[in-house]
Copies of this chain bind each other. A is one copy, B any other.
Amino acid sequence: MDNEQLRQLLGNLHDQSLSVDEALKQLRDLPFKDLGFAKIDHHRALRKGYPEVIFCQSKTPEQVVRIAEAQIEHGETIYGTRAGSEVLGAVEKAIADVEIDRLGRCFWKKSPHWKPREKVRGEIVVCAAGTADMNVSLEAQHTVEILGHPCTALNDVGVAGIHRLFAHREVLEKASVIIAIAGMEGALPSVIAGYVSCPVIGVPTSVGYGAHLGGMVPLFAMLNSCSAGLTVVNIDNGFGAACGAVAINDCRGT
């Protein structure tokens, strides 16, 4: 139901070619398709600017495949995150030409209509502190890419050897948005946000042990950062950070 269809319906109401009751009834037939266990919102792409992503964690392989197939049937790009090996196996078998990243735990298949976003502010830079944060970094990178934005990744640039990070000064300085991913004490986003002037989104990860509280420590450390302006997403939420970065990097209205 796009804006044109709505205007037409309202015209008909005013023309009396439609009764009030009938118009209301039509409006109620909202554009989501009921699969019984999951309602897919095909028009979300228009409303929010990107397709409905399949969050696979705690869905069965069968559920994921059925949702993906319904989206493909509708001509949409499919993109699944947090997919365990069982889900990835089922998807690989069921959907021809699907692309899969096992370390990043995601899969995707672009629709024929997919094209890169034309008007963007610049490049989104994804920095990860350690080798063990790679899976979150990959989730963020794939999300940015599927949503049509340019992306650069810097891995293993944590604060224990801070010269490694500053070797990439130029990449940081010309970034449009930076996603900074770190586990342990989570200091990387603070250091970056104290250095650059573009928006920085921190992603705490569950990498650590002992008094690490499953990632709560880097989460709280980022929220308490001395570097004003740093904003934060949930633990391990590379996907959410990418969505936030894309919203910033998007030149809407131009």
Chain A residues with CB under 8 Å of chain B are 10, 13-14, 16, 19-20, 28, 30, 32, 36-39, 41, 44, 47-49, 53, 57-59, 63, 82, 129-132, 134, 155-164, 167, 184-187, 190-191, 194, 197-201, 204, 206-213, 215-237, 239-241, 243-244, 246-248, 250, 252
- Residues in B neighbouring A239, C-beta threshold 8 A: 228
CA distance A246 to B200 in the complex (A): 12
CB-based contact A224/B244 at 8 Å: no
Copies, count: 8
- Residues in B neighbouring A228, C-beta threshold 8 A: 53, 239-240, 243-244
CA distance A156 to B54 in the complex (A): 13
Instruction: Give min CB distance, A157 to chain B, whole Å.
Output: 7
Q: Can you spell out 8 A-B residue pairs with CB atoms less than 8 angstroms apart?
A: A39-B157, A53-B228, A159-B190, A185-B220, A209-B235, A209-B236, A210-B215, A230-B233
CB-based contact B30/A163 at 8 Å: yes
- Residues in B neighbouring A218, C-beta threshold 8 A: 221, 224
- Residues in B neighbouring A204, C-beta threshold 8 A: 210
- Residues in B neighbouring A206, C-beta threshold 8 A: 210
CA distance A196 to B190 in the complex (A): 21
CA distance A38 to B222 in the complex (A): 23
CB-based contact A224/B247 at 8 Å: no
CA distance A58 to B194 in the complex (A): 22
Q: Give 6 nearest A-B pairs by CB, closest first.
A: A210-B235, A229-B243, A231-B231, A160-B226, A58-B132, A210-B234
CB-based contact B155/A37 at 8 Å: yes
CB-based contact A216/B227 at 8 Å: no
CA distance A19 to B10 in the complex (A): 11
Contact of A197 with B49 at beta-carbon distance under 8 Å, contacts A159-B190, A226-B159, A240-B230 already known: yes
